[in-house]
């Protein structure tokens, strides 16, 4: 399910035939409009025109078409909040890496930016805003640094295709012989090797894609169109797993493959109602925390859950929504859980009992972590499906930051409402010291079977503004990992 409003998007090309009595064939004023307003090269209505040779834009789109449409992952193991933050986030990571590793990652980021920052199509022009295009499931993220926009993926593809066709038509009209090679390459932009299609789709290299095909773990896309549909649960699972060893990818795929398709009408109805709720409350463009928090409150009301009683998210998944829930040993400490729901598989939630976060606790803590993971995946199943009803999440994988933030906020509020945490704090004399808050946390954890981190967050969120800063400082000492 896409959370974006439908948006119109188009590249505007105004041909410039002469400048100072000199004739030009491919010079044009070029801009990008979203919902009719200019967003690039400079946002606003009254902006100076940017003129450049449109054939260079066509060359870039032709050369980069496949990764622009198929790729959804960053080139190194980070998840920046937006594409324009990539270099800054990489710099933080590099402070603890060897020079050799940094050099390799710098090259990967440079190659990634050459493709996905369309401003690079106009080589040598200084002062241009960046123009990042990066697919995120059913949407295209468009980042100019000044603005971050999310456009329905198919609308973005149409805009890119239309501007390419417009430029190609101009080239054929002016000099078909001179431009035949470029125009023909543009027409064949979707042709290619199915192994490359798979590698781009799962965010891996050609060698890994080849091995997964040869070992019959994944099927190669039959066409570029099939790859761009991005509705194969197993390929999405391979992408979401991240850059892990191939034997671990195989293990994940094998377990996901066992999630048989089942009918879940109540989950479908709840999903549609959740979308309507976000829209009716004008929450679609709110911060992820606000969305997750409000969704949890809404779902608790829908399910008639009482704040002062503990709930079992696994029972809710299984009995209320008919989700296949299993606790399995993935033998991977970095993986917490998997949710899958598509046209062929699921809905299912697979919880990893080998997760480092789960193994770190005993008794109630272990139960608390599994319950938090289950609630986290419930959020994904309700609001994070995309086109063709395909959702795959690997908790500990490549899910975009904003979506993970929303699911974390949802899980915390769903399991332990902030108002309930504040109420218990008040009944215990609203303490502000270490010992007093430690006792309140223990009560919250035992009563609602949540982790100490969740209890601390919800206690802080439920506190009045007058006490919030003091409580936050003390909780930072009690639960520094939260």
Residue 30 CA, chain-centre distance (Å), reads 30
* Cβ atoms within 10 Å, residue 188: 11
pLDDT for the residue numbered 381: 94
Q: Which residues pair with 338 in a beta bridge?
A: 350, 394
Q: Are 174 and 423 in contact (CB under 8 A)?
A: no
171 occurs within a structural domain: yes
**Average pLDDT, stretch 335-355?**
91
Share the mean pLDDT of the chain: 91
Both 157 and 59 in a single domain? yes
Residue 306 pLDDT: 96
The last residue of one of the domains, among 405, 433, 464, is 405
Same domain flag for 429 and 381: no
- Percent of the chain residues topping a pLDDT of 90: 78
Is 1 inside a domain boundary?
A: no
Same domain, 205 and 319: no
Answer yes or no: do 431 and 393 share one domain.
no
- Asked whether residue 444 is domain-assigned, the answer is yes
Q: Token pair of 136, please? A: 């995120």
| Shared domain check, 274 and 394 | yes
Same domain, 120 and 30: yes
Peptide bond into 139 cis (omega under 30): no
Same domain, 169 and 23: yes
Question: Over the stretch 78-106, which tens digit does the pLDDT of each residue have?
Answer: 999 999 999 999 999 999 999 999 999 99
319 within domain boundaries: yes
Say whether both 179 and 131 belong to one domain.
Answer: yes
- Token pair recorded at residue 35: 């919902």
Whether the predicted pLDDT of 345 surpasses 90:
yes
Say yes or no: 78 and 138 in one domain: yes
- pLDDT, average across residues 436-448: 96
Same domain for 15 and 146?
yes
Q: Between residues 88 and 469, which one has the greater pLDDT?
A: 88
Per the structure, how many domains does the chain have? 4
Determine the pLDDT at residue 335: 87
Determine the average pLDDT of the residues in 301-314: 96
Cβ neighbours around 419 below 10 Å, total? 14
Based on the domain organization, do 96 and 210 belong to the same domain?
A: no
Task: Supply the range of the domain harboring residue 210.
Answer: 194-254
Q: Tell me, yes or no, whether 446 lies in a domain.
A: yes
Q: What is the pLDDT of residue 150?
A: 93
Among the listed residues 166, 175, 177, 159, the one whose alpha carbon sits nearest the alpha carbon of residue 118: 159
Listed residues 138, 171, 187: the one ending a domain: 187
Q: 39 and 122, same structural domain?
A: yes
The verdict on residue 4 lying in a domain is: no
pLDDT at position 3 is 39
411 in a structural domain: no
d(C-alpha 380, C-alpha 393), whole Å: 7
Provide CB contacts within 8 A for 354, sequence distance 6+.
329, 330, 331, 332, 333, 335
Give the model confidence (pLDDT) of 30-75 as tens digits. Answer: 999 999 999 999 876 655 678 999 999 999 999 999 999 999 999 9
Question: Which of 151, 166, 187 is the endpoint of a domain?
Answer: 187
pLDDT classification of 401: cutoffs 50, 70, 90 = confident
The model carries a pTM of 0.87
Q: In whole angstroms, what is the distance from residue 279 CA to residue 396 CA? A: 29
Structure tokens at 52: 């450049």
Q: Is 271 a member of any domain?
A: yes
| Three-class secondary structure assignment of the chain | CCCCCCCCEEEEEEECCEECCEECCCEEEEEEEECCEEEECCCCCCCCCCEEEHHHHHHHHHHHHHHHHHCCCCCCCCCCCCHHHHHHHHHHHHCCCCHHHHHHHHHHHHHHHHHHEHHHHCCCCCCCCCCEEEEECCEEEEECCCCEEEEEHHHHHHHHHHHHHHHHHHHHHHCHHHHHHHHHHHHCCCCCCHHHHHHHHHCCCHHHHHHHHHCCCCCCCCCHHHHHHCCCHHHHHHHHHCCCCHHHHHHHHHHHCCCECCCCHHHHHHHHHHHHHHHHCCCCCCCHHHHHHHHHHHHHHHCCCCCCCCCCHHHHHHHHCCCEEEEECCCCCCCCEEEEECCCECCEEEEECCCHHHHCCCCHHHHHHHHHHHHHHHHHHHHCCCHHHCEEEEECCCCCHHHHHHHHHHHHHHHCCHHHHHHHHHHCCCCCCHHHHHHHHHHHHHHHCCCHHHHHHHHHHHCCHHHHHHHHHHHHHHCCCC
pLDDT in tens, 127-174: 789 999 999 989 999 999 999 999 999 999 999 999 999 999 999 999
Q: Would the pLDDT of 199 be above 50?
A: yes
Give me Rg for the CA atoms of the chain. Answer: 25
């Amino acid at each position: 399910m896409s959370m974006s409003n439908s948006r119109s998007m188009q590249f505007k090309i105004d041909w410039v035939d002469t400048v100072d009595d000199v004739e030009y064939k491919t010079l044009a004023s070029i801009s990008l409009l979203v919902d009719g307003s200019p967003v690039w090269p400079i946002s606003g209505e009254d902006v100076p025109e940017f003129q450049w040779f449109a054939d260079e834009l066509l060359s870039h789109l032709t050369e980069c078409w496949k990764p622009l449409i198929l790729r959804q992952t960053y080139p190194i193991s980070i998840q920046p909040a937006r594409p324009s933050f990539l270099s800054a986030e990489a710099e933080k990571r590099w402070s603890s890496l060897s020079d050799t590793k940094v050099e390799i990652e710098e090259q990967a980021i440079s190659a990634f930016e050459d493709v996905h920052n369309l401003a690079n199509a106009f080589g040598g022009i200084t002062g241009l805003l960046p123009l990042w295009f990066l697919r995120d499931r059913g949407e295209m993220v468009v980042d100019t640094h000044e603005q971050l926009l999310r456009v329905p993926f198919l609308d973005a593809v149409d805009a890119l295709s239309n501007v390419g066709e417009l430029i190609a038509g101009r080239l054929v009209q002016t000099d078909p012989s001179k431009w035949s090679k470029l125009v023909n390459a543009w027409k064949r932009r979707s042709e290619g090797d199915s192994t490359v299609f798979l590698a781009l789709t799962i965010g891996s290299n050609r060698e890994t894609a080849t091995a997964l095909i040869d070992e019959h773990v994944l099927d190669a896309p039959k066409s570029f169109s099939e790859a761009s549909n991005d509705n194969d649960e197993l390929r999405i699972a391979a992408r979401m797993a991240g850059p892990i060893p191939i034997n671990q990818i195989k293990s994940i795929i094998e377990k996901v493959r066992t999630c048989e398709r089942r009918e879940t009408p109540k989950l479908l109805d709840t999903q549609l109602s959740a979308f309507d709720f976000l829209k009716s409350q004008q929450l679609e463009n709110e911060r992820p925390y606000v969305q997750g928090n409000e969704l949890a409150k809404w779902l608790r009301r829908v399910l008639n859950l009482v704040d002062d009683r503990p709930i079992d998210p696994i029972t809710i998944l299984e009995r209320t929504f008919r989700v296949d829930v299993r606790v399995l040993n993935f033998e991977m400490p970095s993986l917490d859980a998997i949710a899958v729901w598509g046209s062929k598989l699921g809905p299912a939630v697979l919880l990893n009992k080998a997760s480092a976060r789960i193994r770190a606790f005993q008794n109630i803590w272990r139960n608390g972590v599994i319950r938090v993971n289950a609630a986290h995946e419930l959020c994904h199943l309700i609001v994070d499906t995309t086109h063709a009803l395909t959702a795959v999440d690997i908790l500990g994988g490549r899910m975009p930051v904003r979506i993970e933030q929303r699911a974390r906020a949802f899980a915390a509020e769903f399991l332990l409402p902030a108002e309930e945490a504040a109420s218990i704090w008040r009944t215990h004399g609203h303490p502000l010291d270490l010992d007093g808050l430690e006792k309140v946390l223990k009560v919250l954890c035992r009563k609602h079977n949540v982790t100490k981190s969740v209890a601390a967050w919800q206690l802080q969120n439920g506190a009045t503004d007058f006490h919030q800063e003091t409580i936050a400082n003390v909780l930072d000492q009690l639960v520094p990992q939260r």
